[in-house]
């Protein structure tokens, strides 16, 4: 297992975690065996958004004394009224469900996630009400370690990140969602099948969101990395062929600020399958062939895929492009951490000998030589 820092939280997450939603309404033995397999595989981060009393109790019992060895994302506003899972913005209801979850987690939840911040109304009803104050009080009291939020909408997520209140974001990321037209809801594409006419190339708001998170040191955990299974299905894939689960995981892990991808496994076998990621080589993880087959609008934006390697100057081209992209968000206020990351690279943009081999290999037509020059100008000593 590999572990990555989650933004500025000071916590380290396994790069593959577990989204527990598919353990909902499963027998205790299955929950226990799945959690055991996850922990045995080095997984240390678990997302528990489900408000159902039974699944929460099963997860708590399955973790047992290992609770304090793992990181839990619990959700503030996920409720279960009349057996229907729902979002609540009613503070007493929100408190009741979250405090019950706290009780089951030995009185401490690592990440208190403000739940489902997708629309302007969600934003207002959480960040401009007593719910955000409630999260702050939980943090002050030490009931939660950090405040986070979950979202599927990049425009709203950008607003939430800009509040400065949050340190972690759970967001839906995969190669198809990242190229969907900015006006579309991902849920329409999931419900009705991907409409490839709405693919526009790297969606600017999503690119901006990931870069903003890296700039502000907000860690990202990833849901829906496989697009609810559609991206790995021969029948439902929007691409010329299905991606593999490992390629989807690899794609999400190569976005800026991403700390961990949380696939929704529901059996020990599924856990073992997803952990095969670590046995694969770069070629087997490469997703560029599938993604570049879309054609339209895919030119010019770096996907941080490293398909352009090897570089004779040993420059990590994807990393330089990533730091440059973050810098270009606001060249008047370059975060010191980004400048320092760039300067700590073993080989920087000024070592580019302009051989052009990277540009010949890049499937997305990125002007790498120009980017190396720009990065050195903006971030070099
Ligand atoms: S320059 Fe092209 S090949 Fe290299 S990391 Fe960026 S998108 Fe991938
Ligand atoms: S053009 Fe520069 S960055 Fe690209 S492979 Fe050659 S030396 Fe490396």
131 inside domain: yes
Could you give the CA distance from residue 326 to residue 54 in angstroms, rounded to a whole number?
43
**pLDDT above 70 (res 296):** no
Whether residue 219 sits in one domain with residue 176 = yes
State if residue 368 touches ligand 2 by the CB under 6 angstroms criterion. yes
Whether residue 265 sits in one domain with residue 157 = yes
* Ligand 2 binding pocket mutation candidate from 302, 350, 358, 360 (most atoms within 8 A of CB): 358
Could you give the CA distance from residue 379 to residue 194 in angstroms, rounded to a whole number?
39
Please report, in angstroms and rounded to a whole number, the separation of the first and last CA atoms in the chain: 35
**pLDDT above 70 (res 83):** no
Whether residue 267 sits in one domain with residue 327 = no
262 inside domain: yes
State if residue 317 touches ligand 2 by the CB under 6 angstroms criterion. yes
Q: Which ligand is nearest to the CA of 369?
A: 2
Confidence band of 86 (pLDDT split at 50, 70, 90): confident
**pLDDT above 80 (res 326):** yes
Q: Which ligand is nearest to the CA of 304?
A: 1
Q: Write the pLDDT tens digit of every residue in 267-292.
A: 999 999 999 999 999 999 999 888 87
State if residue 352 touches ligand 2 by the CB under 6 angstroms criterion. yes
**pLDDT above 70 (res 62):** yes
* Ligand 1 binding pocket mutation candidate from 304, 313, 371 (most atoms within 8 A of CB): 304
308 inside domain: no
Q: Which ligand is nearest to the CA of 306?
A: 1
Q: How far is the CA of 282 from the centre of ligand 2 (A)?
A: 19
State if residue 367 touches ligand 2 by the CB under 6 angstroms criterion. no
Give the DSSP letter of residue 312: T
Whether residue 154 sits in one domain with residue 262 = yes
Using the 3D structure, point to which of 236, 258, 292 is the last residue of a domain.
292
**pLDDT above 70 (res 91):** yes
State if residue 109 touches ligand 1 by the CB under 6 angstroms criterion. no
The pLDDT of 332-345, averaged and rounded, is 92
Q: Write the pLDDT tens digit of every residue in 201-223.
A: 788 899 999 999 999 999 999 99
Residue burial 21-49, b: 16+ Cβ < 10 Å; e: rest: bbbbebeeeebbbbbebbbebebbbbbbb
In the Cβ-directed half-sphere of 309, how many Cα atoms lie within 13 Å? 13
Confidence band of 297 (pLDDT split at 50, 70, 90): low
Task: Please identify, by atom number, the ligand 2 atom nearest to the C-alpha of residue 310.
Answer: 5
State if residue 312 touches ligand 2 by the CB under 6 angstroms criterion. yes
Whether residue 325 sits in one domain with residue 272 = no
Whether residue 212 sits in one domain with residue 81 = yes
Q: Are 173 and 255 in contact (CB under 8 A)?
A: yes
Whether residue 325 sits in one domain with residue 276 = no
Whether residue 238 sits in one domain with residue 333 = no
The separation between CA 347 and the C-alpha centre of its own chain, rounded to angstroms, equals 28
**pLDDT above 70 (res 360):** yes
Q: What are the residue ranges of helices labelled H in the chain?
A: 28-40, 53-63, 91-104, 120-127, 130-141, 154-162, 186-192, 204-216, 245-253, 268-274, 282-285, 288-292, 317-327, 336-343, 357-361, 368-379
> Is the sign of the CA dihedral 353, 284, 205, 159 positive or negative?
negative
Whether residue 328 sits in one domain with residue 191 = no
What is the rounded average pLDDT for all residues in the chain? 93
244 inside domain: yes
307 inside domain: no
**pLDDT above 80 (res 1):** yes
Whether residue 287 sits in one domain with residue 324 = no
Using the 3D structure, point to which of 276, 292, 308 is the last residue of a domain.
292
For residue 11, what pLDDT is reported?
A: 97
The pLDDT of 182-208, averaged and rounded, is 86
**pLDDT above 80 (res 109):** yes
Phi first, then psi: what are they for 41, rounded to 5°?
-85, 0
122 inside domain: yes
Q: Which residue has the tokens 């070099």?
A: 380
For residue 115, what pLDDT is reported?
A: 95
Give the DSSP letter of residue 351: G
State if residue 370 touches ligand 2 by the CB under 6 angstroms criterion. no
Q: What is the CATH number of the domain that holds 178?
A: 3.20.20.100
Task: Give the chain's domain count.
Answer: 2
Q: Which ligand is nearest to the CA of 362?
A: 1
Whether residue 333 sits in one domain with residue 243 = no
245 inside domain: yes
Whether residue 17 sits in one domain with residue 58 = yes
311 inside domain: no
Q: Write the pLDDT tens digit of every residue in 3-56.
A: 999 999 999 999 999 999 999 999 999 999 999 999 999 999 999 998 888 999
The separation between CA 1 and the C-alpha centre of its own chain, rounded to angstroms, equals 17
For residue 82, what pLDDT is reported?
A: 67
Q: Which range of residues forms the domain containing residue 352?
A: 317-379
In the Cβ-directed half-sphere of 380, how many Cα atoms lie within 13 Å? 12
For residue 289, what pLDDT is reported?
A: 85
């Amino acid at each position: 297992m590999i572990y990555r820092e989650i933004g500025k939280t000071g916590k380290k997450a396994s790069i593959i975690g577990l989204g527990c939603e598919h353990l909902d309404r499963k027998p205790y033995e299955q929950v226990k065996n799945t959690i055991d397999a996850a922990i045995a595989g080095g997984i240390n981060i678990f997302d528990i958004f489900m408000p159902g009393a039974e699944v929460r109790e099963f997860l708590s019992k399955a973790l047992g004394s290992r609770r304090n060895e793992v990181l839990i994302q619990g959700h503030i506003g996920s409720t279960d009224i009349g057996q229907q899972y729902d979002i609540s913005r009613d503070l007493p209801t929100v408190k009741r469900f979250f405090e019950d979850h706290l009780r089951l987690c030995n009185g401490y939840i690592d990440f208190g996630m403000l739940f489902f911040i997708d629309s302007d109304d969600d934003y207002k009803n959480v960040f401009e009400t007593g719910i955000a104050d409630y999260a702050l009080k939980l943090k002050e009291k030490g009931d939660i370690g950090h405040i986070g939020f979950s979202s599927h909408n990049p425009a709203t997520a950008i607003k939430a990140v800009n509040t400065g209140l949050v340190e972690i974001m759970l967001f839906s990321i995969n190669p198809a969602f990242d190229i969907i037209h900015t006006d579309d809801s991902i849920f329409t594409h999931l419900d009705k099948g991907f409409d490839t006419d709405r693919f526009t190339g790297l969606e600017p708001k999503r690119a901006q969101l990931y870069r903003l998170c890296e700039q502000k040191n907000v860690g990202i955990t990833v849901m829906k990395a496989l697009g609810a299974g559609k991206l790995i299905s021969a029948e439902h894939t929007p691409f010329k062929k299905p991606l593999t689960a490992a390629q989807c995981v690899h794609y999400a892990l190569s976005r800026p600020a991403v700390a961990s991808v949380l696939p929704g496994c529901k059996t020990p076998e599924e856990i073992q399958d997803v952990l095969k990621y670590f046995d694969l080589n770069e070629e087997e993880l490469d997703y560029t062939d599938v993604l570049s087959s879309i054609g339209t609008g895919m030119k010019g934006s770096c996907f941080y895929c490293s398909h352009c390697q090897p570089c004779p100057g040993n420059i990590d081209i994807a990393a330089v492009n990533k730091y440059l992209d973050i810098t270009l968000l606001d060249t008047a206020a370059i975060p010191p951490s980004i400048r320092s990351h760039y300067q700590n690279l073993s080989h920087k943009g000024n070592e580019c000998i302009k051989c052009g081999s990277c540009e010949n290999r890049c499937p997305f037509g990125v002007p790498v030589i120009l980017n190396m020059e720009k990065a050195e100008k903006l971030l070099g000593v």
